[in-house]
Each structure stands twice: as structure tokens, then as C-alpha cells.
Amino acid sequence: MVISIIGFPFSGKSTYGKKLASDLGWEWVDLDNYIEERYGSIEEIISTKGEEYFRDIESKSLLEFSNEVENRDIILSCGGGTPLRPDNQLILKGLGKILWLDTPFDIIAKRLEDSPQKRAIFANCNSIEDIKKIYDERRKIYESLE
């Protein structure tokens, strides 16, 4: 069985996924790490080839992952944008359970502010309000999948 954890960037998917996998004695897979092992830095992919190209790689990687997991108990920490594409939504539903980390935006904003790691996905955002718009749009998708 696979439990896929979804949520906005900086919501805690990797931290929580790793802990949950440890508590259950399951494998833990971070989809972003899975992608980077095969294709290189996500930040570099997005900054040089664009978000749409990255989303294509992300979808391909999720499909590859889904073909490798039969009869394994895995916690999958997804990228924040993984559930945006309908095909990815179908794959996630087919893998097993979906768990949405509904982290309030004020907590995410604080984590963004405190993080030395900036995300290429927010490169075109000029303010925290721009990021909040993305958050609000994605919430509807996350909520529909849980």
C-alpha cells in the first residue's frame, strides 16, 4: 500500500512523511528526491527549461514510481505541484490513500521567510500575496483529493 502525502511547498510533507514511515516501519520515498536522482536539480530544471518541462518530468517520474511499488508499503511525499495534473491525480488515487497536509498559510509564510532554500517555483512571485494566490488555488485541488 502507498500513502501519498500532498500539500503546499513548506507544508511539512517530507518531514512528516519520513516520521510516519519510520513509525509504521514502511519505506519512505520523496518524489522530488526520486526526480533529482534521475534528472538533476529541480531548481535548475525549472530555471533553465521552465515549469511545464519540469511538470512533464514529474508526471513521468510518478508513473515510473507507480510501476515499481507493487506489494510494498511506502509513504510517498509528493512535490507541492504533483497533484495539479489530472493524470497525476488518477495515479495518486490508484496508488492507495492520499493524505493532505493542510498547513495554514501563516505557518508556510514563516517557513518560507526562515528558509535559506528558495524555490524556483516562486521565482515569478513579487510578494507574499502572490504566493498566497497560488496557495489558495492549490488548496481547492488538494482538498478535492483527500
Work out the average pLDDT over 31-60.
93
Report the Cα 143 to chain-centroid distance in Å.
14
Work out the average pLDDT over 19-28.
96
Distance CA 83, CA 9 (A): 12
Continuous segment of H or E residues that includes residue 3: strand 2-6
For the chain, what percent of residues have pLDDT higher than 90? 73
Contact assessment for residue 80 and residue 9, using Cβ atoms and an 8 Å cutoff = yes
CATH superfamily to which 2-145 belongs = P-loop containing nucleotide triphosphate hydrolases (3.40.50.300)
Query: Which residue has 510578494 as its cell numbers?
Result: 127
Model pLDDT for residues 121-138, shown as the tens digit of each residue: 676 777 888 889 999 999
Confidence tier at 117 by pLDDT (50, 70, 90)? low
Model pLDDT for residues 63-116, shown as the tens digit of each residue: 999 999 888 999 999 999 999 999 999 999 999 999 999 999 999 988 887 776
Work out the average pLDDT over 11-18.
94
